[in-house]
Amino acid sequence: MNMDVLVSLSKRRGFVFQSSEIYGGTGSCWDYGPLGVELKNNIKRVWWRDFVQARADMVGIDASILMHPTVWKASGHLDHFTDPMVDCRECRRRFRADHVDAVAWTHYCPATKGNKFTIPAGEPCGHCGQRRTLCPECGKGELTAPRQFNLMFKTFMGPVEEDAAMTYLRPETAQAMFVNFDNVLQSMRLKLPFGIAQAGRSFRNEITPGNFIFRTREFEQMEIEFFVNPNDRVEGRPADEYWHDRWIEDCMAWFKRYGLREENLRLREHERDELAHYAKRTVDIEYNFPIGWSELMGIANRTDFDLKQHAKWSGKSLTYFDEERKEHVVPFVVEPAAGVDRALLAFMADAYREEEVRGEKRVVLRLHPELAPLKVAVLPLLKKRDDIVRAAHEIRATLARQWRVVYDDTAAIGRLYRRQDEVGTPYCVTVDVQTIGDAERGERGDGRATIRERDSMEQIRVPIPELPAVFRELLDGGAWQQVAGRYPPARG
């Protein structure tokens, strides 16, 4: 499966649009459309439910994006959150110094009277043997020596644009959990181990963003800071190491539960030399994206680095009183950090299938019902019959009190099913003559609607008053086969 297929489906069906598209787009910014926002909200909602609501050892916060500028001094972002950049003196393009040889380069070859060639990344010219020294884009300009470029977006607080008023858009949500550590600990009377979660926007002025919503300058994170007592031991191991492994397992299981296939997931241990300066150990969960194996989320053991740094810079104590040992300790922290946009991309890529049904191609997004943007589509079989249309609208209105449900009568039924398959709607309900009957012929309806399941395409006849209970069961994780077994199959 390639990324263009997803980009095109996303635009055509209202999942993701390029930001400010009518103005030619904004670099690496994307807008979620009507279906995209539902999918994204569903991902965040199940994450919050499973990792915060359902657990006794977790609480959440929602912090502001603008924080005190000293936060970024203490966290190390001001000094270390940089990439080495080089600039072209001719065309002014900017490149990451360590990526400049990873792109194809433009070459005006002296051996062929200056003809222009595009030469594959890292290779020399086949005519003159030269290697790239100039700008890979324009092929003419010299590159500057590498300079450190900070990835944080700067902005100004208040009416005066001066250095003293400078602040930053947060590059991660994590720091809010550290600076609020004592507020949360005291207000909620927590005992270690416990975690603080947050889902929210972060900003990084990436120089080489790209690959659709995989790497963007504005993105959403779902982060957890899980604090443990470094003096405790669990199952014979240091508590931080035990909990690190637990979180790796739990996160991996979470992605599988909502549909990512085992063969598309793997763990990758960070090498010593790629570990962040604060980390004792970091493991990435990688997903086999259309662009290849890449990071889906990271789970880091950040030790006591952050709390110690903020204690030092703020002058406030950020410790926990260990009742048993009668001493103050600085907790260690394990950080499972996931990107919402990246998770959404993985769920969509994994769900995408092209199938053949009775000689016809169908595209289906086999999204987990809890993630699917639309839960049910109500489709009248005859839109000329007022009584059928009215019954369909009534069913939609009843179900829409609990779920995102749509009504569609703008095409023939086969077409309507394909449309819903393509956006992952798990169930369709149709209302037909059999449901309503035909007064002119003196035929009574059976009062049943047809439910069609997306993956098996099986259909059952269910009495209209029972639809809410049936969908409650199905959308709460009930198996289709179990529910379908209680009702007669639909004719045809």
120 or 359, CB closer to Zn ion?
120
# of chain residues touching Zn ion (CB under 5 A): 11
Cβ 102 to Zn ion shortest distance, Å: 16
What is each CA distance from 151 to 33, 85, 208, 377, in whole angstroms? 28, 11, 11, 44
Contact yes or no for 337/221 (Cβ under 8 A): yes
Q: Is there binding between residue 94 and Zn ion (CB under 5 A)? A: no
- Among 97, 138, 207, 389, interactor with Zn ion by CB under 5 A: 138
96 or 404, CB closer to Zn ion?
96
138 or 207, CB closer to Zn ion?
138
- Chain positions 257 to 296 lying near Zn ion, rule: CB under 5 A, are none
Q: Is there binding between residue 67 and Zn ion (CB under 5 A)? A: no
Cβ 103 to Zn ion shortest distance, Å: 12
Cβ 210 to Zn ion shortest distance, Å: 19
* Contact range with Zn ion by CB under 5 A, out of 40-48, 80-88, 230-238, 270-278: 80-88
Contact yes or no for 452/471 (Cβ under 8 A): no
27 or 488, CB closer to Zn ion?
27
Cβ 100 to Zn ion shortest distance, Å: 11
For residue 396, report the phi and psi dihedrals to the nearest 5 degrees: -60, -45
Q: Is there binding between residue 74 and Zn ion (CB under 5 A)? A: no
Cβ 132 to Zn ion shortest distance, Å: 10
- Chain positions 417 to 456 lying near Zn ion, rule: CB under 5 A, are none
Cβ 104 to Zn ion shortest distance, Å: 14
17 or 117, CB closer to Zn ion?
117
Three-state SS sequence of the chain: CCHHHHHHHHHHCCCEEECCHHHCCCCCCEEECHHHHHHHHHHHHHHHHHHHHCCCCEEECCCCCECCCHHHHHHCHHHHCEEEEEEECCCCCEEECCCHHHCCEEEEEHHHCCEEEEECCCCCCCCCCCCCCCCCCCCCCCECCCEEEECCCEEECCCCCCHHHEEEECCCCHHHHHHCHHHHHHHHCCCCCEEEEEEEEEECCCCCCECCCCECCEEEEEEEEEEECCCCEECCEEHHHHHHHHHHHHHHHHHHHCCCCHHHEEEEECCHHHCCCCCCEEEEEEEEECCEEEEEEEEEEEECHHHHHHHHHHCCCCCEEECCCCEEECCEEEEEEEEHHHHHHHHHHHHEEEEEECCEEEEEECCCCCCCCCCEEEEECCCCCHHHHHHHHHHHHHHCCCCCEEECCCCCHHHHHHHHHHCCCCEEEEECHHHHEEHHHCEECCCEEEEEECCCCCEEEEEHHHHHHHHHHHHCCCCHHHHHCCCCECCC
139 or 290, CB closer to Zn ion?
139
137 or 240, CB closer to Zn ion?
137
94 or 270, CB closer to Zn ion?
94
Distance CA 474, CA 267 (A): 32
- Among 33, 141, 437, 478, interactor with Zn ion by CB under 5 A: 141
118 or 410, CB closer to Zn ion?
118
* Contact range with Zn ion by CB under 5 A, out of 85-93, 149-157, 320-328, 405-413: 85-93
- Among 86, 88, 372, 423, interactor with Zn ion by CB under 5 A: 88
34 or 110, CB closer to Zn ion?
110
Cβ 125 to Zn ion shortest distance, Å: 3
95 or 214, CB closer to Zn ion?
95
Q: Is there binding between residue 90 and Zn ion (CB under 5 A)? A: yes
Site mask for Zn ion (CB under 5 A), range 99-128, x = bound: ----------x---------------x-xx
- Among 49, 80, 91, 481, interactor with Zn ion by CB under 5 A: 91
Distance CA 388, CA 365 (A): 29
Cβ 126 to Zn ion shortest distance, Å: 7
Cα angle 309, 310, 313; round to 5: 85
Cβ 149 to Zn ion shortest distance, Å: 17
Nearest Cα to 338, choosing from 210, 247, 246?
247
91 or 121, CB closer to Zn ion?
91
Cβ 87 to Zn ion shortest distance, Å: 9
Cβ 108 to Zn ion shortest distance, Å: 8
- Among 58, 135, 318, 451, interactor with Zn ion by CB under 5 A: 135
Cβ 112 to Zn ion shortest distance, Å: 7
Which residues are at the interface with Zn ion (CB under 5 A)?
A: 88, 90-91, 109, 125, 127-128, 135, 137-138, 141
